[in-house]
């Protein structure tokens, strides 16, 4: 029987859960934000989902939606997705989930945009939605909120335009909790975590995260002993926030220099996979050794400007970094100065400048018990196990006591969630390729989309039997969405809805 009641993520016991807006009840088949309910990737709907499909087989409907890598979301039977419909126009689309009919389209002029990495897109974020509103972030526009039925403006919050010195570009999406819209943007210049009132757009609180480097990890909700914490991973630390005030209740110093995966919560425990190199090594490898650099083990402002090309560098970035790190005042960063310049002095994480290059990258899986006060590193980190197969972008999938990881080449590994021990060795799924989308599941099936356009279907069971590999005919970076028996796949230029044949 199809669930249409208040979305419930609690399965008994103490659990990390997504809390829905009390005034706008979500439904069991909603997929309201990046990776669905509480960013877990797990659908609460019990409708059957397809095993075999393609860009022409078992397609319920499809539409061109411009270039983009942000996923679709679903609320109250409406689907929302965004894309670049020309070089300086971003569009937000609304479709009827059942029929595929386009309900409305909003277009915004973006102005001239900075260059971003080819894998990314200017339309890089996933909207969030409830039955009444759609919340959409775009770097040059800020946080836009429109009416879900009509697309008309409701409120708009301008935010600092983020700056990314390595040209990664933006990738963070709004997340919903109770009557708040949460948005965390750890960029190279204005890292901050915001909470806005869903109805009015008023800023409830803000945490200026100046102790963070660049991160791409979404907030998740953890409930322990009846208390909700908003949990965000970042440079060196996992932090639990008070939802009412935005104060940092607790932190665990257990992470690396940056994190691009989003944690998953289950039964009061936060599960994380991390992979990151040392900051000095990255700067030298990316900038000093670039074609525009002078490979001498030093870094100058001119090298950074040349690396960025036509992308202007705010002087505030140099004041924040070079002015802090250049201890001898010679205009170049070298050795320990690189560490001091690009990581906060009170929050250094990852390998140091003198770590041999071959040892500068680390990767591991870990589990942290939610709750607590202050520094919980020693008291709440349950386990931390090194691996050789974590991915720096693809978030883990956690279900039934198992933690599944997918990395480049389709290499999968599985760990138990009790001790983090491997349940089997590395095994390839699909047909290779790069992976950026995170696994999602519904109807006992796990869907894993790859950059080469293939979607692997696994059985959500201890053996993770591979059921099919489906070709969508176009690159996929976005994480798919699931709702009401539909799998919504956002390829590079299209939104395709596939469903079980009736």
- Report the pLDDT value the prediction gives residue 25, as an integer from 0 to 100: 53
C-alpha dihedral (139, 219, 250, 340), degrees to nearest 10: -40
Q: Lowest-pLDDT range, 6-10, 153-157, 433-437, 491-495? A: 6-10
The percent of residues in the chain predicted with pLDDT above 70, rounded, is 94
pLDDT at 12 exceeding the cut of 50: no
- Report the pLDDT value the prediction gives residue 501, as an integer from 0 to 100: 87
pLDDT at 166 exceeding the cut of 70: yes
pLDDT digits (tens, 9 = 90+) for 230-288: 999 999 999 999 999 999 999 999 999 999 999 999 999 999 999 999 999 999 999 99
| Residue 222 pLDDT grade (very low, low, confident, very high; cuts 50, 70, 90) | very high
Mean pLDDT of 7-36: 56
- Tell me which H or E stretch contains 318: helix 315-320
| Residue 313 pLDDT grade (very low, low, confident, very high; cuts 50, 70, 90) | very high
Residues 5, 407: Cα–Cα separation, whole Å:
36
- Report the pLDDT value the prediction gives residue 430, as an integer from 0 to 100: 92
- Tell me which H or E stretch contains 322: helix 322-325
Residues 133, 33: Cα–Cα separation, whole Å:
12
What is the SS3 assignment for 340? helix
CA 282, 288, 291, 292 torsion-angle sign: positive
Contact 176, 182 (CB under 8 A): yes
Tokens encoding 16: 């990390």
What is the SS3 assignment for 339? helix
Within a 10 A sphere around the Cβ of 25, how many other Cβ atoms?
15
Mean pLDDT of 64-83: 98
Q: In what order do the strands lie in the sheet with 238-241?
A: 220-224, 227-233, 238-241, 248-252, 374-375
Mean pLDDT of 47-65: 97
Residues 410, 414: Cα–Cα separation, whole Å:
13
Measured in degrees and rounded to the nearest 5, phi and psi for residue 12 equal 105, 150
Residues 327, 333: Cα–Cα separation, whole Å:
8
- Report the pLDDT value the prediction gives residue 20, as an integer from 0 to 100: 38
Contact 128, 174 (CB under 8 A): yes
- Report the pLDDT value the prediction gives residue 26, as an integer from 0 to 100: 61
Contact 309, 303 (CB under 8 A): no
C-alpha Rg value of the chain to the nearest Å: 22
The percent of residues in the chain predicted with pLDDT above 90, rounded, is 90
Q: pTM of this prediction?
A: 0.94
C-alpha dihedral (456, 1, 130, 119), degrees to nearest 10: 0
What is the SS3 assignment for 259? coil
Compute CA distances 258 → 138, 247, 275, 277, 472, whole Å: 22, 22, 8, 8, 32
- Tell me which H or E stretch contains 379: helix 377-380
CA nearest neighbour of 272 among 436, 372, 175, 415: 415
| CA atoms lying within 13 Å on the CB side of residue 140 | 12
């Amino acid at each position: 029987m199809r669930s249409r009641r208040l979305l419930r993520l609690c399965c008994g016991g103490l659990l990390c859960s997504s809390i829905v807006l009390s005034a706008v009840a979500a439904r069991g088949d909603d997929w309201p934000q990046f990776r669905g309910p509480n960013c877990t990737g797990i659908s609460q709907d019990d409708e059957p989902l397809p095993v075999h499909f393609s860009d022409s087989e078992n397609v319920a409907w499809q539409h061109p939606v411009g270039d983009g890598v942000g996923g679709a979301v679903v609320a109250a039977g409406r689907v929302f997705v965004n894309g670049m419909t020309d070089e300086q126009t971003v569009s937000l689309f609304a479709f009827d989930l059942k029929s595929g009919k386009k309900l409305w389209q909003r277009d915004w002029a973006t102005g001239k945009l900075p260059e971003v990495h080819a894998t990314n897109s200017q339309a890089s974020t996933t909207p969030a939605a409830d039955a009444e509103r759609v919340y959409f972030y775009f770097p040059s526009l800020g946080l836009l909120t429109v009416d879900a039925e009509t697309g008309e403006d409701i409120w708009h919050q301008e935010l600092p335009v983020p700056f990314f010195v390595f040209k990664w570009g933006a990738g963070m999406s709004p997340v919903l909790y109770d009557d708040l819209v949460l948005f965390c943007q750890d960029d190279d210049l204005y890292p901050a975590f915001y909470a806005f009132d869903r109805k009015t757009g008023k800023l409830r609180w803000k945490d200026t995260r100046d102790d963070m480097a660049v991160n791409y990890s979404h907030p998740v909700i953890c409930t322990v002993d009846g208390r909700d914490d908003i949990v965000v991973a970042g440079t060196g630390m996992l932090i639990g926030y008070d939802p009412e005030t935005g104060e940092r209740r607790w932190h665990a110093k257990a992470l690396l220099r940056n994190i691009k995966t989003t944690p998953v919560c289950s039964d009061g425990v936060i599960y994380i996979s991390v992979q990151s190199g040392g900051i000095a090594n990255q700067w030298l490898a990316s900038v000093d050794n670039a074609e525009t650099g002078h490979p001498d083990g030093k870094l100058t402002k001119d090298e950074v400007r040349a690396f960025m090309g036509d992308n202007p560098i705010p002087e505030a970035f140099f004041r924040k970094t070079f002015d802090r790190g250049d201890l001898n005042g010679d205009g170049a960063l070298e050795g320990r100065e690189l560490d001091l310049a690009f990581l906060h002095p009170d929050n250094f994480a990852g390998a140091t400048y003198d770590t041999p290059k071959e040892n500068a990258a680390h990767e591991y899986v870990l589990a942290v018990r939610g709750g607590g006060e202050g520094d919980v590193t020693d008291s709440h980190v349950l386990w931390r196990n090194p691996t050789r197969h974590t991915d720096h972008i693809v978030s883990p999938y956690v279900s039934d006591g198992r933690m599944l990881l997918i990395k480049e080449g389709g290499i999968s590994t599985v760990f138990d969630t009790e001790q983090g021990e491997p349940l089997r060795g590395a095994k390839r799924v699909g047909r290779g390729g790069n992976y950026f989308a995170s696994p999602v599941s519904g109807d006992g099936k796990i869907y894993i989309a790859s950059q080469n356009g293939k979607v692997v279907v696994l059985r959500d069971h201890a053996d993770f039997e591979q059921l099919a590999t489906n070709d969508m005919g176009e690159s996929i970076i976005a994480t798919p969405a699931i709702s009401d028996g539909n799998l919504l796949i956002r390829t590079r230029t299209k939104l395709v809805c596939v469903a079980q044949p009736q």
